[in-house]
Amino acid sequence: MFEIVFDNAKIFKDCIDALVTLIDEGEFQITKEGIKLRAMDPSQIAMVDFVYPKSALEKYEVPAETKLGMNLDDLSKVTSRVRAGEKLTLKMDKNGSRLDLIFKGKTTRRFSLPLIDVAGTTPKQPKIEFDSKVKINGFTLKEGLKDASLISSHVVLKVNKEGFTIEAQGDKGEVLIEAKKDDDVLLEHTVNAEARSMYPLEYLNDLLKTTDNEAVVMLDLKTDNPLRIEYPIGQATIVYYLAPRIENA
Amino acid sequence: MFEIVFDNAKIFKDCIDALVTLIDEGEFQITKEGIKLRAMDPSQIAMVDFVYPKSALEKYEVPAETKLGMNLDDLSKVTSRVRAGEKLTLKMDKNGSRLDLIFKGKTTRRFSLPLIDVAGTTPKQPKIEFDSKVKINGFTLKEGLKDASLISSHVVLKVNKEGFTIEAQGDKGEVLIEAKKDDDVLLEHTVNAEARSMYPLEYLNDLLKTTDNEAVVMLDLKTDNPLRIEYPIGQATIVYYLAPRIENA
Amino acid sequence: MFEIVFDNAKIFKDCIDALVTLIDEGEFQITKEGIKLRAMDPSQIAMVDFVYPKSALEKYEVPAETKLGMNLDDLSKVTSRVRAGEKLTLKMDKNGSRLDLIFKGKTTRRFSLPLIDVAGTTPKQPKIEFDSKVKINGFTLKEGLKDASLISSHVVLKVNKEGFTIEAQGDKGEVLIEAKKDDDVLLEHTVNAEARSMYPLEYLNDLLKTTDNEAVVMLDLKTDNPLRIEYPIGQATIVYYLAPRIENA
C-alpha cells in the first residue's frame, strides 16, 4: 500500500482548492511519476489537468498504481484545516476503503475519508496549436477580470503585437484593460498570429480564484478556440482549458 | 472637450463614496472653478454640496462649462476598482455620450460609462444662522453615533458651554456621550447660544460612513434646524445638511 | 449603593461574552467577595459559574449584597462598544431601576440599562469526583473541536496514560486528534483512571468561542459524567459544566 508525505501540507491544500473550484468529485491517479487528476467540469465547459510530481514529495512509496475516487468537497474541508508548519501523510486505512490524511505538527491529527466510485472516463488532453502565448502577473490578470465583471458576464481576451488586452462591453458601458508589451506585468509575450476569443467570466474568475497574487500565469490563445491557463502551485502544476463562446458573426 | 487628471485616483473614489451614500444619480457641474455637485436625497431629508477645486487637480482643461449626469451606483463600482498609486483621467469619449475614466498604474484601464439625464433642478444652499459650532475627531463622532444606535433610531445632539453631547433613550435604556470643552477630541467649540436638536441616526451614520477616523468633522447647529456637517476629502470638501426631527412638545 | 471600577473595561467585555454564549439573561450577585453569576442554559445541558474577585477590581465599594438581573444580550452589545484603554464604572442610577455603565477614555460614555426580574433559582454546583485532568493550550483545543465538527455533531473526549484525544466518526469519515503526554500543547496531565465521554460539539464550540488562543484551558473528566471546563479571563474565572451524551451500549 502506498505512503505519500508532503513536507508542507499547505501546498496540497492549495491544489485541492484549485480542483474543487471546478469539480465536486474526482479520481486521483497515484502513478509512478506522481499524483495526477484530469477531469471535465459537469457542464463540459472547462477541463482541469493536475500533476503533482513525485520529485516534489518528501516520500513517495507507491508499490502499484492506484486510483482514488474522492468527494472533493469533503476533502477540501479537511485540507482547509491545515495549520502552518504541518506535514501531511496520505495512506490507505487498514481495510483499504478509506484514505487517511495524517497532519503532524504540534499535535497529530488523522482524518479518514471514504473512497467513492467516480462515474465517467478520464478525458483526453486537447490538441490545439496555439497562436500566441503570454505570461502575466496573477494579480493583474485576476483584477482585470474583476474590472470586466462590472460591465459584462463575458470577456474578450486578445493578444497581438502591442500586448495583451481584456475587453468587455454591455449596457453599463465598456472596459478595456491593456498590458502593453513593455509593461512590467507582462512577463512574456509571443505572437505567431493575433488571437482573440470570448470567454465566460464566471469560469475565469473561479479558475483563477486560488492563484497567488505573485504567481506567473501562462495563457495560450487561438481565435475561437479553448483558452489554456497554466500556473504553478509549489512544484505542482495546474492546467485548465476553457471553451470559448463563439460570438455572433 | 475637457480633460481632468487626478494625481491620486483614490481621492476621487472617496468623494464618489461620500456622494453615493445619499444619492443614486447626480449631475456633476464641470465649472471654471472645479467640479461641483449639489443634490437632495430622494426623501428630501438631506442635501449634499460637493466641491472639488480646480487647484487640487493635476490637470484641469475645461474649455466650456459642462454637465455630466451619472448613475452614481455604477460610477462608484468603477471607482472602487482603484489601485494604490494610480492616476485617473476623466474625459468624454469620442462621440460625447460617455465619460471615460482612465486609470494609469502598472496597466492602463479604461472604463466608459454612459451619461444619463438627471431629473429635477439643483437645490439652493440653505441660509441658516447657526448658534454653535464644534470641530470633532471623526472617529469619536462616528463611534458615539454607533453607541447611540444600540438604544434608539434617533439621537439628540447638543452644544452648550460645557461641550458637545450625543444622547439617546428608548425602551432598551439610555446613552449619553460627552465630549467636554477641554477634551482632546473636541478640537473647536464656539457657542453663541445653546443648540439642541434631534436627528435620524440612519442618516447620520450613512453620511459619516466614509469619513476618515482622523478627519476633523465640523458641525454647525441651531435648535430645531438642519445640522450642517462638513469634512474634507483630500482637498475636496463635502458638506451635508440634515433636517431635524422636531420632538413633540 | 455600590460602585465598581474595572481598570480595563475590555476584561469585563470578555466576561460578558463568555456568559452570553450560554444564557440570554442572568442575575449577577454583587457579594462581599466579588461579582458572581451561576446559571443553567435554557436547555439544561450546560451550567456556567463565573467569579470576578474583588481583588482584581480597581474599586469595589459594596455596602450591601445586591442582585442585578440583566438582559445579557443587551448588556453584551453595550460592553462590545468598549474602546482600548477605557476604564469602566458600574453603579446604580439615581432611582435604583437601572445599571449605569460609564466608560471613561477620550470621552465619557454612560449607558443606562434597565434591571429585569430573572426567573428561577441559582443552581447548585455539581459534586463530581473527576478521574482525570488535563491543561491544554486554548488554540489546540478549539481547533481540534473544529476538526471534529467536519465529521460529526458529537465528539468523544478521552484521557488516559498516553495523553488526551478528541475523536469523532460519522458517514463522512473519522477524525482523531491526539495530544500526547509529552507534546508541548499538553501542559498538565493527571490520570487517576481513564475517562472517556461523548459531548455535543455545538456546545463545546460555543463555550470555548471566547477563549484566548494563548489561554490555558483546564478540563476535568469522568466517564459518562459532565465535563468541567475552566479558564481565566484576566483575573476572573469562568467554569462551565457540560452534560455528557450517554452512548448506546
Rounded to two decimals, the ipTM of the complex is 0.90
Q: In chain A, what residues touch C180 (CB-CB under 8 Å)?
A: 108
The answer to whether domain C3-114 and domain C132-242 are alike in fold is yes
Q: In chain A, what residues touch B106 (CB-CB under 8 Å)?
A: 140, 183-185
Give the pLDDT confidence of C165-187 residue by residue, as tens digits.
999 999 999 999 999 999 999 99
Q: How far is the alpha carbon of B107 from chain A, nearest alpha carbon, in Å?
A: 5
Give the pLDDT confidence of B103-120 residue by residue, as tens digits.
999 999 999 999 999 988
Give the pLDDT confidence of C217-234 residue by residue, as tens digits.
999 999 999 999 999 999
Q: In chain B, what residues touch C108 (CB-CB under 8 Å)?
A: 177-178, 180
Give the pLDDT confidence of C92-134 residue by residue, as tens digits.
988 889 999 999 999 999 999 999 999 888 999 999 999 999 9
Report the alpha-carbon distance of residue A103 to residue C12 in Å, rounded.
Answer: 37
- Predicted pLDDT at C9: 97
Strand C108-114 with C98-104, pairing = antiparallel
Strand A34-40 with C195-200, pairing = unpaired
Taking residues C17-43, report their average pLDDT: 96
For the entire predicted model, the pTM comes to 0.91
Give me the sheet containing A66-71, strands edge to edge. A66-71, A25-30, A34-40, A46-53, A236-242, A227-233, A216-221, A132-137, A186-191
- Predicted pLDDT at A248: 63
Phi/psi at C127 (5° precision) = -105, 105
Which residue in chain C has the smallest CA separation from A114? C173
Which residue in chain C has the smallest CA separation from A97? C173
Give ∠ CA C30-C31-C35 in degrees, rounded to 5: 50
- Predicted pLDDT at B52: 97
Q: Give me the residues of chain A with pLDDT under 70, please.
A: 247-249
Report the alpha-carbon distance of residue B13 to residue B1 in Å, rounded.
Answer: 23
Report the alpha-carbon distance of residue A158 to residue A155 in Å, rounded.
Answer: 10
Which string of DSSP letters, residue by residue, matches B116-135?
Answer: ----S-PPPPP----SEEEE
- Predicted pLDDT at B120: 81
Crossing angle, helix B201-208 and helix B138-149, to 10 degrees?
150
Q: In chain A, what residues touch C144 (CB-CB under 8 Å)?
A: 107, 109
Which residue in chain A has the smallest CA separation from B105? A183
Taking residues B84-112, report their average pLDDT: 94
Structural domain spans, chain C? 3-114, 132-242
Question: Going by C-beta distance under 8 Å and a sequence separation of 6 or more, which residues neighbour residue C43?
Answer: none
Best of B88, B107, B112 to disrupt the A interface (most A CBs within 10 Å) is: B107
Does the A132-242 domain belong in CATH 3.90.700.10? no
Best of C136, C149, C174 to disrupt the A interface (most A CBs within 10 Å) is: C174
Q: In chain A, what residues touch C151 (CB-CB under 8 Å)?
A: 111
- Predicted pLDDT at C213: 93
Which residue in chain B has the smallest CA separation from A186? B107
Q: Which cell goes with A31?
A: 502513478
Residues of A with CB under 8 A from a CB of B: 140, 143-144, 146-147, 150-151, 172-180, 183-185
Taking residues B47-76, report their average pLDDT: 96
Q: How far is the alpha carbon of C114 from chain B, nearest alpha carbon, in Å?
A: 6
Contact A106 C176 (CB under 8 A): no
Size of interface A-C (CB pairs under 8 A): 51
The beta-carbon neighbor of C107 closest among B173, B174, B178 is B178
By CB neighbour count within 10 A (0-12 exposed, 13-18 middle, 19+ buried), where does B95 fall? exposed
What letters, b where the CB count within 10 A reaches 16 and e where it falls short, cover C108-118?
Answer: bbbbbbbbeeb
Distances (CA, A) of B116 to A83, A172, B78, B120: 52, 11, 16, 13
Q: Could you report how far apart the first and last alpha carbons of chain B are, in Å?
A: 56
Contact B114 A177 (CB under 8 A): no
The beta-carbon neighbor of B174 closest among C77, C81, C112 is C112
Between these two residues, B1 and C33, which has the higher pLDDT value? C33
- Predicted pLDDT at C248: 63
Contact C232, C215 (CB under 8 A): yes
Architecture of the structural domain at C3-114 = Box (3.70)
Residue C74 has pLDDT above 60, yes or no: yes
- Predicted pLDDT at C96: 83
Give the pLDDT confidence of B118-137 residue by residue, as tens digits.
988 899 999 999 999 999 99
